[in-house]
Structure 1
Amino acid sequence: MEIFNDETLEDLQTGGLYLIQKKAGFRFGADAVLLADFAKDIVSNKTLDLCTGSAVIPILLSAKTKTEQFFGLEIQKSVFDTAMRSVRLNSLENRIFLTCEDLKNAVSIYGKRQFDLITCNPPYIEKNSGLQNPSDEKVIARHEVLCTLEDVINVSSLMLKQKGHLALVHKPSRLIDIICYMRSADLEPKRIRFIHKTVDSEPSLVLVDATFKGGKELRIMPPLYIYNKDGSETNQIREVYGR
C-alpha cells in the first residue's frame, strides 16, 4: 500500500502491525497504548471503540486479544479514511469495521445492548476551554467540540450488554466528572489506575474500567510510572510496549 509524502508509517511493536498517520495531523500517543493494555484482559466477543481516530486501539487489541469483531466510530472523514487504510494494510478487514459517523448516533447504527466492551480515548479539554479553531483536526481530537465526556458515557450505557465494560483514559482532573457521569448512567467503576511520568510526579493520566449495572466494588490498581529518575523507561512501560 502506498504511503503518501505527508504520512508516516508507525511500527506498533505488536504482532507485526503498522499504523498510517498524517505528519501534520493528530497523532496517537502513550494514552492510546496504555488504554489498549488496560483493556486487553477484559473478555469480549464484540468491542466498540468510540472516537477511534487512527483506529490504533482496535488494531492493537486485535493482536492482544481473541476478540472476534471490533467496531470503531470516527466523525472526521479525513481521519476515518486514513484509519481504513491502516486496517487494510494490516489485513484486518474481517475483524475491524469502521464507520464515519457521530458517536451520538451509535444506537441507531448498531442498536442497544450490542457490545461486551467499549473503549474510548476521548477529547480531554472541556468545551470552551481555550478553543482556537473548531474545524482543525487536532483541536477536534483534543477539545470537546463535537462530543463531550458525558456523551461518551451516556452512549456507552445504552450500547453495553449487562455487565459489559467501558474502559477509558482521561485526565485525572476529570475523575470526579467521570465517576458522577458513570453512576448516573448505571455504570459502576471497577478499576482505576493512575499513570505518572515519574515516581515523584502527580498523575498525568487515569484509566477507568466500569461495568454496566455492576456491583459496588472499586479496585485502585498500583500506579504505572513511565520514566525512572535517570530518564530511562521503566520496566512497567517497556512491558506495555512489548520492548
Structure 2
Amino acid sequence: MNPNELSAATFPKTNLTILQDKSSFCFGIDAVLLADFTRVKSNDKVIDLGTGTGIIPLLMAKTSRASHFMALEIQKESAQIAIMNVEKNHLKEKISVINGDIKSVRELFVPECADIVTSNPPYAKANSARKNQNEAKNIARHEILCSLEDVVSAASYLLKSNGSFFMIHRPDRLSEIFNMLSKYRLEPKTLRLVQPFSDSAPTMVLIESRKNARQEIKILPTLVIYKAQGEYSDSVNKIYMNL
C-alpha cells in the first residue's frame, strides 16, 4: 500500500484529514451520523468495533471529551490506514488501533472495560444478493466475517454495567436487532430513523442501548438527509458544520 495513492477527506473545523483507499471501502454519511449521535461523557473509554480507517473514533476524538478510544478492525490494510490517520492527525495519545477480530474480543480485551461501544457494522446478511467484486467492500457491507450477534455480543462483553452501545443499521432488521440486544442484556434507550428525503421511507436507524438498564425507549424526530437532490438538509449541514 502506497500512502501517496490514498485519497483524503477533510473536516475543516476540527482540522481533521482522513486518508482512505477509494479502490476499497470508503466511509459514508452513516459513520458521520453515528459519531454525531453518540453521547460521550468526560473521561469515558470508548471502543469502536469494525472501525475501518478509523472515521468514528477520529471524529469523536476531535468533538468529545472521552479519555481514550480503542479501534478494532479485522482487515489488515484498513487497520494500517487507520493507524496512518491517527498519526497524521496527531492523535496517538487518544486512539489505539487494533488489528483483530470482533469474535475474539474476549482474548483482546478484559470484560467491562468500556463506558461506550460504537459500531457501524455490515448491514446485509452474508447470503444476500448484490455483492461487489471487491472483497474488502463485501466484508464491510455483508456479514461475511461477523454477524449482528457477534457485534452485539462483543458490545455487551466490553461494556460496564449501564454503559451504552451506539449502532447504526437498517430499519428492516429492527426486529432482529431488538431480539439480539435483549439476549445480551442491552436495553434500547434511544432510536432515530434516518431517511433520504422527507417523503421517502427510512433507510437507516440510529440506536442507543444500555447494559442492564430498565425498559424505556425514547424516539427522536426522524432525520432527513436531503432537502433536494444533492443538497443536504439543514439538520445534516449543522452536523457537518461542527466537524
Same-fold call, TM cutoff 0.5: yes
Partner of 2:45: 46
Partner of 2:195: 196
Partner of 1:4: 4
What are the Cα deviations for residues 75-124 of structure 1, in whole angstroms up to 9, with x where unaligned?
Answer: 00011111110000000001000110001111221110010000000001
Shift, 1:134, TM fit? 8.8
Partner of 1:103: 102
Q: Which whole-Å CA distance do the structure 1 matches of 2:59 and 2:213 have between them?
A: 27
How does 1:129-168 map onto structure 2 within 5 Å? 129-130=128-129, 132=131, 136-168=135-167
How does 1:32-181 map onto structure 2 within 5 Å? 32-41=31-40, 45-130=44-129, 132=131, 136-181=135-180
Shift, 1:70, TM fit? 0.0
- Give SS of 2:157's match: helix
Q: Which whole-Å CA distance do the structure 1 matches of 2:96 and 2:28 have between them?
A: 22
Q: Which whole-Å CA distance do the structure 2 matches of 1:231 and 1:11 have between them?
A: 19
For 1:203, the aligned partner's letter is: P
Matched, 1:21 2:20: yes
CA contact (8 A) 2:40 2:65 kept: no
Shift, 1:232, TM fit? 2.6
**RMSD (Å) for aligned C-alpha atoms:** 1.7
Structure 2 gap ranges (5+): none
Query: How does the TM-score come out when normalised to structure 2?
Result: 0.94
For 1:185, the aligned partner's letter is: Y
CA contact (8 A) 1:48 1:118 kept: yes
For 2:215, the aligned partner's letter is: K
Q: What percentage of aligned pairs have identical amino acids?
A: 34
Q: Which sits farther off after the overlay, 155-164 or 8-17?
A: 8-17
For 1:4, the aligned partner's letter is: N
What are the Cα deviations for residues 115-165 of structure 1, in whole angstroms up to 9, with x where unaligned?
Answer: 000000000111211275798100000000000111100111111001000
Q: 1:46 to 1:134 in 2, by over 3 A?
A: farther
Which aligned segments of 4 or more residues in structure 1 are displaced greater than 3 angstroms? 40-44, 131-135
Shift, 1:40, TM fit? 3.6
Q: 1:44 to 1:185 in 2, by over 3 A?
A: farther
What are the Cα deviations for residues 173-230 of structure 1, in whole angstroms up to 9, with x where unaligned?
Answer: 1111111100111000000000011110000100000000011110000111111146
Matched, 1:217 2:205: no
Q: 1:8 to 1:47 in 2, by over 3 A?
A: same
Structure 1 gap ranges (5+): none
Q: Which whole-Å CA distance do the structure 2 matches of 1:208 and 1:28 have between them?
A: 19
Q: Which whole-Å CA distance do the structure 1 matches of 2:161 and 2:238 have between them?
A: 32
Q: 1:131 to 1:227 in 2, by over 3 A?
A: closer
CA contact (8 A) 1:13 1:241 kept: no
Q: Which sits farther off after the overlay, 141-150 or 106-115?
A: 106-115
Q: Which whole-Å CA distance do the structure 2 matches of 1:103 and 1:134 have between them?
A: 24
CA contact (8 A) 1:131 1:139 kept: no
Paired positions, count: 241
For 1:76, the aligned partner's letter is: Q
